[in-house]
Chain A
Amino acid sequence: MAMAGTTWRGVCAGVRRARPLLPGQQRSLLPGSAVALLRMRWTAAGKSRSRREAAEAEADAPVYQYVSERARRADRIFTWGFSYTGALGIPSFVQPSADGPAAGRKPRAIQPVPYRLEMDARISSVACGYGFTLLSSQTQDITKVWGMGLNKDSQLGFHRSRKDKSRGYEYVLEPSPVPLPLDRPQETRVLQVACGRAHSLILTDREGVLSMGNNSYGQCGRAVVANEIYSESHQVHRMRDFDGRVVQIVCGQDHSLFLTDKGEVYSCGWGADGQTGLGHYNITSTPTKVGGAIGGVRIVQVATYGDFCLAVSADGDLFGWGNSEYLQLASITEATQVNIPTHLPFSGIGKVKQAACGGTSGAVLNDEGNVFVWGYGILGKGPNLMETALPEMIPPTLFGLSDFNPDVRVSHICCGLSQFAALTNKGELFVWGKNIRGCLGIGRLEDQYFPWRRAW
C-alpha cells in the first residue's frame, strides 16, 4: 500500500499542482477502484501538512478589536413622515442646499422610511405635534429641550432669526435649543415633553410644568387674552399650583391633562366635547382638578390625542371622557359627548396596564401584553373591522408570537391621529393605521390594515 502511494505521488509530481489533491477531483489516469483507495491515502498525508501550516498561520494572524469589552449601544433617533414643515429636523429635506449632493432637487415632501437624526445629547423624551417636534434630555446642562418644525404659534418657543435679530423663525428646520425661563437652569431636569395642535408642555422635576404656544382656549393654563398674537412670542407660562408633584403631562388637540403623584388628574383648555372632564362644555384656562368617576381613584396614566381621553387606575380599571362620535364611549352611553369621567366596564380585557387614544379610536394594553382596540377607522384587524364599540384583541401572532418565539409580549402602545404603534419586549416596533403622508414609515404610502413589523 505504501508503495502504491509512492507511485501515485510520483505520477503527480510531473503535473503542476496548485493545491493538494482532494476527493471529488477526478484524475482519469488510473482505473476506478484504485483511484478511490489512493485518493484516501493521498488526502490524509497532504491534508495534515497543509492543516498544520494553516493552523500556524492562523495563530500568527493579528487580532483586530472593533469595540471594547464595555461597549454600550448608542441611543439613536429616527424621524419619518411629512417633512415640509421641517418637523423631521433635517434641513436638506426642506431646503436642498445650492451645492452638495442634493443640489437642484425639489424639497422632499415625505420621508417614507426612518431617517437618522444626529443628536449629540442623550434624548429621553420626544413628542410630535401637528407639524412640529420637541426633543428633551434629562441633562443638567443649560440646553435641555430642542424643537423643530412649525413655529407660527411659538409652540417651539422663540427662535431668534439670524437675518433679522428682532424677528423669530416661523419654521425651524433643525433641532434648535428652546429657551426656558428656569430659576435654576443648571439643576432642574426636564422629564417629559408633550405636544398638541399648536401648544406644548414641558415637565420639569422641581419647577412645575411650562407651557408655550397657542392659548386661544386656555390650553396653556393661563387666562385667554383677546386678540393675542402668538407668533414670535417669548411667553412661556409656568404652572406650579398642583396638589402634589406632576408626573405625567399629555396634550390633546386643544386641551391639556396633568397627572400628579397623588393619582389626581388636572385639565385645562377647550371643552366643547367635554374633553376637560370638568362637567361643562366651556373653556378652562387654569388647570383644574377632575372629578367624576376618577375622583378618589388613584390614576397611574392618562392618555389623549384628539378630543377623547382615557385614564388608567392603579387597579387596572379604565375611565373615559370627551368625544364619543366614533363609538369611543358607545359602550356606556349613546351621547356623543361625555364631559365627566366615566368608568368603562369592559370585560375580557383583563387588568389594563396602559391606554392610548387616537383621534377616533382607543387602545389598551393589558398586563398579559395583549392589545385591544375599539372605535372607528383602521383598527388593526384587517379591512373588515372598521368600527366597534367594544374592544377587540389583536391576535398576538401578528406581533411575532409563534411556536418559535412563545414569549413575545407587547410592552408599550402609542397612538397618532389615525395610526397605532406597538413596541414588543423583543424591541420590535409594529405600526398600523392610515398611512397619511408616509407617517407609518413602512416605505410604502398605502394604509396598513394589520400590525406591520417596522424592520430595516
Chain B
Amino acid sequence: MGSLERSGLHGLFAVYKPPGLHWKHLRDTVEFKLLKGLNSKKQYTPKEHIRFLLAPKEGSERGELTLIAKNVPALSEHSLVLGVGRGNKLLTDIYNAHLTKDYTVRGLLGKATDDFSDEGRLIEKTTYDHVTPEKLSRILAVIQGSHQKAMVMYSNLDLKTQEAYEMAVKGLIRPMDKSPMLITGIRCLKFAPPEFLLEIQCMHETQQLLRRVVHEIGLELKSSAVCTQVRRTRDGVFTLEDALLRTQWNIHNIQTSIQKAAPRVEAELEKSQTIALDHPDPVGQSVS
C-alpha cells in the first residue's frame, strides 16, 4: 500500500456511468486504468481493491441495471461513487449517514406498463388532455407531504421535545435506520404534455420505486404515466460536476478528484455522526 499512500489515492470520487454500461464493467475499467497508471510510475503495487458503494439498495439496483442494459439505453445515467484504498471505510460511513440523493425523472403521460417504464408490456392507454400543471403540482405536494410525515415517523423522534422542534426547524429530521423509500422533495421542472420532468430528492430509494412514483402520479391524475428516464444528479455530497468522464479515468484526475471531495465528505460525515448520536446539537444539513 506504500505506493498508494505516496500517490495519495485514498478516498472517494465520483464517476459518470453512461447509460447502458454495466456497473461491473465500469468498476473493472476504472480499476484497470488505476493499476495501469500506478504501474507506469514503476513502483511496486500490491493488489488494489476498488469497492463499489455496496448497499442493499444498490443490490437491487444492480439487478435492475442488468435489465436496463437490455432495454433502451437512455433509461439510466448515473454518477457513481467509488472508493479507493482507505476510502472503502469511508464508503461504509457515508452509507450509514443516510444522505439524500437527487434524481431527475422523466415521465410520459398516457400509458401504463407492467414495470412502470417505457419498455414494459403495455397495460392500458389513457387520455391526458385534462392534466394541467396545477393538478400535477398539487399531487406532488401531497406526495411530498405524506413522505415528510413518514420521515418523522421512521426517525423515531419524540415530537414533544425541544430537540425535535429544533431539528424540524432546520429540516434535519430523517431516519438513521432502514426505512422504505422516502422522498424529501419533489417538484416539476418541466411540463409539456405528454412529457414531464420531475426532480426528486430522496433516500433509501431504488430505481423500481422511483418508476413506481411516476406511475402513481399518473394514477392520481386520473390518467396513467410511465417513466422514460431516471438520472441521478447528486449522491450525498457528490454532484454531476464532480463525476469523472470516461476520458478522465486516469490516476491523475482521480487523485485530484479525491482531494477535492475529501473536505466535503469529512464535513458531512461529522454532521451525520452528531445526528446519529441523538445529540441535541442542531446542525445544518448541506444541500449541494
Contact = CB atoms under 8 A, between A and B. Distances in A.
A453 B161 contact: no
Interface string A430-456: 000000000000000011111001011
B159 A449 contact: yes
Interface stretch (A63-71, A119-127, A128-136, A239-247): A63-71
Contact of A67 (B130, B144, B160): B130
Contacts of A68: 130
A453 B122 CA distance: 37
A66 B109 CA distance: 13
B278 interface: no
B162 A64 contact: no
Nearest to A430: B145
Interface in B13-60: 22
A400 B135 CA distance: 19
Nearest to B201: A404
Nearest to B70: A22
Contacts of A405: 185, 187
| Contact count band on A | 35 or more
Nearest to B126: A64
B148 A453 contact: yes
Interface stretch (A180-188, A192-200, A267-275, A380-388): A380-388
B125 A450 contact: no
B130 A446 contact: no
Nearest to A444: B159
Interface in A52-74: 54, 57-58, 61-71, 73
B216 interface: no
B126 A455 contact: no
A99 interface: no
B7 interface: no
A54 B118 CA distance: 11
A382 B159 CA distance: 9
Contact of A58 (B70, B125, B145, B146): B125
A64 B127 contact: yes
Contact of B69 (A23, A397, A426): A23
B165 A382 contact: yes
B124 interface: yes
Contacts of B137: 426
A24 B130 contact: no
A368 interface: no
Interface residues of B, number: 42
A197 B149 CA distance: 34
B130 A449 contact: no
B187 A404 contact: yes
Interface string B122-160: 101111011000010110011011101100000000011
B145 A453 contact: yes
Nearest to B63: A24
Contact of B125 (A24, A61, A397): A61
Contact of B142 (A64, A400, A455): A455
A96 B223 CA distance: 37
Contact of B141 (A66, A426, A449): A426
Contacts of B192: none
A448 B168 CA distance: 13
Given A62-B125, A64-B127, A450-B165, A455 B222 contact: no
Contact of A427 (B141, B166, B168, B223): B141
A57 B161 contact: no
Contacts of A70: 130
Nearest to B69: A23
A403 interface: yes
B120 to A, nearest CB: 10
A70 B129 CA distance: 9
Contact of A450 (B142, B168, B185): B168
21 contacts: A23-B69, A57-B122, A63-B126, A64-B125, A64-B126, A65-B126, A67-B222, A69-B129, A383-B165, A400-B144, A402-B171, A403-B287, A404-B184, A426-B141, A446-B160, A447-B160, A449-B159, A450-B159, A453-B145, A455-B142, A455-B146
Given A63-B110, A66-B127, A455-B148, 13 more contacts: A22-B70, A23-B70, A43-B70, A57-B122, A61-B124, A63-B125, A382-B162, A395-B169, A397-B171, A450-B169, A453-B149, A455-B146, A455-B149
Interface of A: 22-24, 43, 54, 57-58, 61-71, 73, 381-384, 395, 397-398, 400, 402-405, 426-428, 446-450, 453, 455-456
